[in-house]
Structure 1
Amino acid sequence: MNRTSASGWLPRLLGAALLLALLMLLGTTRLAAQPHAPRPTRAYTRSAHLMGSHFTFTAVSDDDSLAWQALRAGLRETQRIDHLFSYWDSTSQVVKINRLAGIRPVVVDQEVYDLIERTLKISQLSGGAFDITFASSDKIYQFDRQDHARLPDSATVRNSVRRIGWQKVQLDVATHSVYLPEKGMRINLAGILQGYGVRRAEQLMKQMGIAGGLINGSGDVYCWGKQADGSAWRIAIGDPARPHSVSSWLTVSDLAVVTAGNYEQYFTVAGKYYGHIINPHTGYPATGLRSVTVICPDVELADALDDAVFVLGPAEGLAMINRLKGVDATVITDDGQTLVSKGMQLNPYHSAAPVGAPVTAAKP
């Protein structure tokens, strides 16, 4: 009887064990089939001192490795451009062009040739308000934030800009050469270089798979995609009259917001501000504006246009912006008034008066 009981108990035990193993296998399979929890999307940031300014690179991603790789690539690309176009680096092609002014043309990389060619087109567009040969001027001002007794005499000022003239720059498309025909002529691409660096870094990061990001090159901002929480980017515009405060703000995506101001490098005469942006036609510092912000899809173009608007002044500068498709601007005048172009959608902390079109600015 014990044998009979044992023979009946053993198959039942083996059956139960097989059933348990089968259930465990099914459970393991179900667990393996469960997808991994999605990695959180976050913003990764890296900063560096480039082109004499503070740069911040931000990548929005759910992939740590990709984000850091893209940030390093964007930074290295900006460093490469800084070296290639530097006004100070003795090995740069721009320095070589300046050194051989009045002597012979200089064959340059296609990239250098193309950027210089684009600057000359912007000079033509702005009537010479933007001019990379501004570097040919004599240094007759000291922008030390101090009150000066007087401006230099008119003869000194006129003489200081005698070599300036974008029309003088000679490009040879067949040889990719650049020639400055007068000794003492110089070019300096500082007015567009940060924007170009931001544009190239942004393009590279996008190609690597970064769907959202922001690059800020000391006021030259380009943002694309969305923030980590899915919202659009909000860009603040500083108030020249109140340092470290905000005058207005914009909600943007896939756009450049570039701001230039004369409230950091300046001097005063009898209480009047004279900023570091020089009118290449007159030799005098551009007056009438404290801040210019240009908004458009091309950060390189925006970087050049803000200087042009500064030189042209509020009325003529905004009139130029109003003629350009897809470009908007807001300016702050010497007396603190905020003006906007006809298509500008601004969120100011005080009222803004549109120039050149019957558009009312948004209320705070």
Structure 2
Amino acid sequence: MHASRLPAKRFFSVIARFLVLSWLLVANSAAFAQAPASKPRNFTRTAHLMGSHFSFTAVSADDSLAWRAIRAGIRETQRIDRLFSYWDSTSQITQINRQAGIKPVVVDQEVYDLIQRTLKLSALSDGAFDITFAGGEKIYKFDRKEHASLPAPEVVKASVARIDYRNVLLDPATHSVMLQDKGMRLNLAGILQGYGVRKAQALMRQMGIQGGLINGSGDVSCWGRQGDGSLWRIAIGDPAYPQSVSSWLTVTDVAVVTAGNYEQYFTVQGKYYGHIIDPHTGYPATGLRSVTIICPDVELADGLDEVVFVKGPEEGLAFINKLKGVDCALITNDGRTLTSRGMAVNYYSTQQPQTAAAPKP
């Protein structure tokens, strides 16, 4: 049996088509090789997370990678919210609170580590930051209205009787956490958004995103550069005009956390009282309308803004000036702007910020 053969005309037609196809493939390959690579661009998506407005920006020449990384960052923030939620009946924080004064609760390493870090910040700040604040009684209504008076002193004192970070007992051998007294409560809301931003950023960078910015309702962390090569420009709001900007910074590879005490407040005889409570006294912290912290770690910055609010303008500024690699800009109740020694911001107004003097030895 002989193998069949193509007629000569058909054979040369096949060869010709093969050569044309080969030439097209080579030409297309050469054109593809010579085509300029796609330029990096900013890809942004917003989401409602942790009860707040978040935005995620990824810089990449690969749009598929950028969107995958953003979705991963959102999922990571959701995971952290569930794990640490004060309101979720299944969270480990809720379990700790239920067993207050009864027995320790074994928790995940991640939960244990974050609680441990918050207690270190509490010790560093002499209790100005305290995650047991949830055990305090709610005796104020921050309704932006004029009130006849503050609560009676004995009511204020009793409201913070169960707030004391020193009564959070950690056991490193079992990774357990126990609240020493009944009625105590943990709530990590004062640092959780910063922690969520930090974890989401780490995941996005691990996926290959070389530049990006995450904003968790004022807790901002950025890295790399924007798609056009410029640094990140972060605005600081003006408490006197909540929808406006008082100043801005041009930065990268840093966290900028701004907290305001001017949306939840009340007044008594014209005096302003914001929603941040001093855990030592039970009274609202006074003296400041806005605190901006700049440092490499967004989680730390998220905790430090509350510390400064509680300590007040002078003591808070002196506290920040003692910390390495941390700066701040403060806006006082009377409209003054105070900055730490290393702080450099751009102002829209002609007001010159006041820089704190070096602390006395």
TM-score by length of 2: 0.91
SS at match of 2:79: helix
Q: Which residue of 2 aligns with 1:66?
A: 65
Q: Mean Cα displacement is larger for which, 24-33 or 229-238?
A: 24-33
Give the conservation status (yes or no) of the 8 Å contact 1:322–1:356.
Answer: no
Question: Which of 23, 32, 36 is the equivalent residue of 2:29?
Answer: 32
C-alpha separation between the residues in 2 aligned to 1:74 and 1:133? 28
Q: Which residue of 2 aligns with 1:135?
A: 134
1:125-179 alpha-carbon deviations (Å, 9 max, x no partner)? 1111000011111010011111111100101000100111111110000010000
Structure 2 distance, partners of 1:171, 1:31, is: 65
Equivalent-residue separation in structure 2 for 1:303 and 1:32 (angstroms): 51
**Amino acid of the residue matched to residue 351 of structure 1?**
Q
Give the TM-score taking structure 1 as reference length.
0.90
Q: Deviations over 1:295-334 (max 9, x none)?
A: 0000000000000000001111111111111100000000
Residue 149 (structure 1) aligned with residue 148 (structure 2)? yes
Determine the C-alpha separation between the residues in 2 that align with 1:312 and 1:323. 14
> Gapped runs of 5+ residues in structure 1?
1-17, 359-364
1:318, 1:356 within 8 Å by CA — same for their partners in 2? Answer: no
Matches of 1:268 and 1:98 in 2, distance apart?
Answer: 33
The 1-side partners of 2:177 and 2:20 are apart by 78
The one-character-per-residue Cα deviations of 1:200-256 (angstroms, maximum 9, x if unpaired) are 000000000000100000000001100111000000000000121111110010000
Q: Structure 2 counterpart of 1:256, which letter?
A: A
Secondary structure of the structure 1 residue equivalent to 2:258: strand
Equivalent AA in structure 2 for residue 32 of structure 1: S
RMSD (Å) for aligned C-alpha atoms? 1.9
Corresponding position: 1:192 with 2:191: yes
Q: 1:244-288: CA deviations, max 9, x gaps?
A: 111111001000000111111111111111111000000000000
Look up the match of 2:107: 108
CA contact (8 A) 1:341 1:357 kept: no
Amino acid in the other structure paired with 1:158: K
CA drift of 1:32 comes to 2.6
Structure 1 equivalent of residue 215 of structure 2 = 216
> Partner amino acid for 1:259?
T
- The 3-state SS of whatever aligns with 1:221 is strand
**Residue type matched to 1:339 in 2?**
L
C-alpha distance in structure 2 between counterparts of 1:357 and 1:75, whole Å: 42
Gaps of 5+ in 2: 1-15
Aligned pairs (5 A) from 1:61-100? 61-100=60-99
Note the C-alpha offset of 1:357: 4.2
- How far residue 31 of structure 1 moved from its aligned partner, in angstroms, is 5.0
| Aligned counterpart, 1:352 | 353
Partners of 1:227 and 1:357 in 2: CA distance = 36
How many residue pairs align between the two structures? 340
**How far off its partner does 1:102 sit?**
0.6
Q: Secondary structure at the match of 2:71?
A: helix
Shift of 1:345: 1.1
Q: Is the 8 A contact 1:102 1:183 kept in 2?
A: yes
Question: What amino acid maps onto 1:194 in structure 2?
Answer: Q
Indicate conservation of the 8 Å contact 1:239/1:245, yes or no.
yes
Distance 2:80 2:22 in 1: 59
In terms of Rg, which structure is larger? 1
Amino acid at match of 1:108: V
Tell me how far 1:47 sits from its aligned partner: 1.2
Q: Say whether the 8 Å CA contact 1:198–1:215 is kept in structure 2.
A: yes
Structure 1: how far apart are the matches of 2:123 and 2:21? 77
The equivalent of 1:166 in structure 2 is 165
Greater Cα shift, 40-49 or 118-127: 40-49
Separation in 2, partners of 1:111, 1:241: 40
State whether residues 222 and 256 of structure 1, in contact with CA within 8 Å, keep that contact through their aligned partners in structure 2. Answer: yes
SS class of match (1:291): strand
When residues 29 and 125 of structure 1 are mapped into structure 2, their CA distance, relative to the original with a 3 A threshold, is same
Q: In the aligned structure 1, how far is the partner of 2:124 from the partner of 2:132? A: 16
Shift of 1:37: 3.0
Identity %: 70
Kept in 2: contact 1:291–1:331 (CA 8 A): yes
Distance 1:232 1:224 in 2: 9
Give the aligned residue type for 2:265.
Y
Paired residue secondary structure (2:133): helix
In 2, Cα distance between equivalents of 1:182 and 1:24: 81
Following TM superposition, by how much is the alpha carbon of 1:29 offset from its aligned partner in structure 2, in angstroms?
Answer: 3.8
* 1:205 and 2:198 correspond: no
Is 2:289 the partner of 1:290? yes
User: In structure 2, the residue corresponding to 1:81 is in which secondary structure?
Assistant: helix
Letter in 2 for 1:221: V
Structure 1: distance between partners of 2:79 and 2:339: 36
AA of the residue aligned to 1:115: L
State the secondary structure of the residue aligned to 2:65: helix
